[in-house]
Chain A
Amino acid sequence: MKIRTAADLEAKKQAGLRKLQPGKPRIAVGLATCGKAVGGAKVYERLHEIIGTESPEIDLSLVGCIGYCCEEPLVNITLPGKPLVILHRVTADDADEIVRAVEEGGVPEGKALCRIPSWDHVTGCTLTYGEGFERIIPAYKDVPFFSHQKKVVLRNAGLINPEDIDEYIAVGGYAAAQKALTGMNPDAIIEEVEMSGLRGRGGAGFPTGLKWRITRDAKTDKKYIICNADEGDPGAYMNRNEMESDPHMLIEGMIIGAYAMGAAEGLIYIRAEYPLAIRRLGIAIGQAREYGLLGEEVFGTGFSFDIGIATGAGAFVCGESTALVASIEGRAGRPHPRPPRLTDIGGGLFGYPTDLNNVETWCNVPVIISNGSDWYARIGAKGNSGTKVFSLVGKVDRVGLVEVPLGTSLNTIVFEIGNGGAGGKKVKAVQTGGPSGGCIPMRLFDTPVDYESLNRVGSIMGSGGLVVMDEDTEMVDIARYFINFATTESCGKCVPCREGLKHTLLLLNKILAKKATKKDLETLADLSETIAATSLCGLGQTAPNPVLTTLAYFREEYDALVGP
């Protein structure tokens, strides 16, 4: 059935709510890539066996990942009138105990991580589950990993079935798109996005509304919008989880953007290394078409729009916009100087003006439209509104995906959310922004995480990877790791990047082999500054950052390795 009116959407919402709160017990297993890799799929299979043969009165479903990855596999239990309870570190052997407990109207308390009496899905929908288990299971808001977070983009992740559009609609999904398409003109939408202060979540922080306006103003008969889901930064997996856990949020953001900019075709450029995300996006696109939310006459309006999937093939440089477009067109991803920009006539995909935004940028759009730009702009810091999702990984105690308001300090993220170094080790630094970013020493951990503050300490926001390093991590080795990465990922087009990085790598190898002199360190610094100043695209311009920041903050580690 196609959704045309508000009543149609409401009917689907009620159908979805009956799945989330079926009036009988529901068990849902967290099945994103991280959950699957540590046995989540086996837990699901075993539960399926037991429930199928013995307890057909229990609903079994799947959800995405709520982000507490080091506690995986996670299992949600919903009993009518009781709080939603999340179990952690569940194995297939626990399945019997879980089903028995649920049959008796309870949960296996020893496995419980937290309880959720009610959940604000932000887009005007709060689901109330119920009361109970107060004395035995901690509340979600009291779990240190969660208590400092603010879920806006990840509002549904780990709580709804990403393969069922009804559950997304149940928690307020597609209401923003309907509001936009049936009640707002394109300029009003762009104005709303501008006033929200939303900036590009791929890392550069360009104002999203402005990019949309430039694309809208391009006078052509055809335009494209693209979602960059290539997520090439090693150590970052925010976008993977956003797509695996809540793919419809991305699609809804793109529908709104397409209508605002006047594009009839959208593309999701996604890395081939993410098979589950590709599969779930495919399912979601199919469901959206079936409901008339993609294709001809979206929501019964005169507007038509559809989304295709284009797979990348492992080239970090394709994060650069002109290289990304070359890749979709079937060429090697080598950047060209801008202008022409993608938004220019002649500069975008197949020559048409093209708007390119990161997954997480698109994911922020529905909530801005549903709750308004004022609401959104109040989150975060001045000039840095909203939240950002980070993958907090490396040598930190609590590993996972965290979402915090922009402007939150590194201290809060690493120590209060992450609980400091793993195994009681002393934290030394955190690396932000992937191969384009820098290593920030612990003494600067009061730095607020926003675009400008991170630049001031020599790093960048990047897409959201936060890799924690401890006292055992050798910073010169880390610099070499990133330069090795950038060297192999350099497209080879411009000399500073191609040759400069190669020689940077040789110098770092020489230093690590203890064969270098103080003069080599000077050469290393000079070379790094030259590469940054003269490279053609962002890859080369930012590639020396790991060297420059480790030289600035951990000079003693270099000095200890070199002779006079």
Chain B
Amino acid sequence: MDERTLDAIIARHDAPAGKLLGILGDIQNQEGYIPREALEMLSDKLGVRLSHLYSLATFYSYFSLKPVGDHVITVCMGTACHVKGAPRILEALEGMLGVECETTEDGKFSVTTDDNKFTLEIARCFGACSMAPVLRIDGNLYGYAAAEDLPAILAEYGWKG
């Protein structure tokens, strides 16, 4: 993330209420994760200790410090999705992408394929419970997901099996 982009993000959050989380959220949305150099620049610009920004980035599950691949697949693990088979969707995706579930100390789960094409992660709940189970790829929601539909969906994003 270059300095000008970061300055533009900071400028959007001039009110003190919600400022730090708002800035981090915008960085996360833009980059797909929060790069270390962005945190360092932010620390300098705002005069906020790097350790404090780090504590926010690790406390809140929306933020990730790990780089992501070209396409981000997020599986909703909300209650409605859980009872309608979200764990099986996640397993099927792991199998298709050849990656394995890996939960970090802070409960975040995110894993990227070796070719850097796909990142697989989970979310607490999208609030799209009526069409459970749900997954999201790069901002597009897919409702009523079934394991057998996954190859066709992933093919839209260049998955070749």
Contacts and interface: CB of A to CB of B under 8 A. Distances in A.
A274 B124 CA distance: 12
A469 B125 contact: no
A527 interface: no
Contact of B21 (A72, A273, A310): A310
Given A37-B141, A314-B62, A332-B55, A234 B24 contact: no
A371 interface: no
A375 interface: no
A434 B28 CA distance: 27
Given A313-B25, A314-B60, A37 B83 contact: no
Closest 5 CB pairs of A and B: A310-B18, A488-B107, A69-B130, A235-B79, A330-B20
Nearest to B77: A234
A400 interface: yes
Interface of B: 15-22, 24-25, 28-29, 48, 55-56, 59-63, 77-80, 82-84, 106-107, 123-132, 134, 141-144
A75 interface: no
Contacts of A367: none
Nearest to B55: A332
Given A314-B60, A394-B79, A481-B82, A233 B18 contact: no
Interface of A: 33-34, 36-38, 69-70, 72, 231-237, 240, 267, 269, 271-274, 308-316, 327-333, 349-350, 391, 393-395, 399-401, 431, 434, 465, 467, 469, 473, 478, 481-482, 485, 487-489, 491
7 contacts: A37-B141, A38-B131, A38-B144, A313-B24, A315-B60, A349-B17, A399-B129
B107 A237 contact: no
Given A232-B124, A330-B19, A485-B124, A314 B130 contact: no
A43 to B, nearest CB: 15
B22 A311 contact: yes
A271 B60 CA distance: 11
A508 B77 CA distance: 19
Contact of B127 (A70, A240, A312, A488): A240
Contacts of A236: 125, 127, 129
B83 A70 contact: no
Given A37-B134, A332-B55, A308 B18 contact: yes
B21 A399 contact: no
A328 B127 contact: no
A441 to B, nearest CB: 15
Given A394-B83, A488-B107, A313 B131 contact: no
A313 B21 contact: yes
Contacts of A467: 79-80, 83, 129
Given A33-B141, A393-B80, A274 B21 contact: no
A482 B83 CA distance: 12
A561 B24 CA distance: 45
Indicate the member of A240, A269, A273, A316 with the most B CB atoms within 10 Å: A273
Contacts of A70: 130-131
Contacts of B127: 33, 231, 236-237, 240, 273-274
B107 A393 contact: no
B84 A34 contact: no
Contact of B142 (A37, A69, A329, A400): A37
Contact of B130 (A327, A331, A399): A399
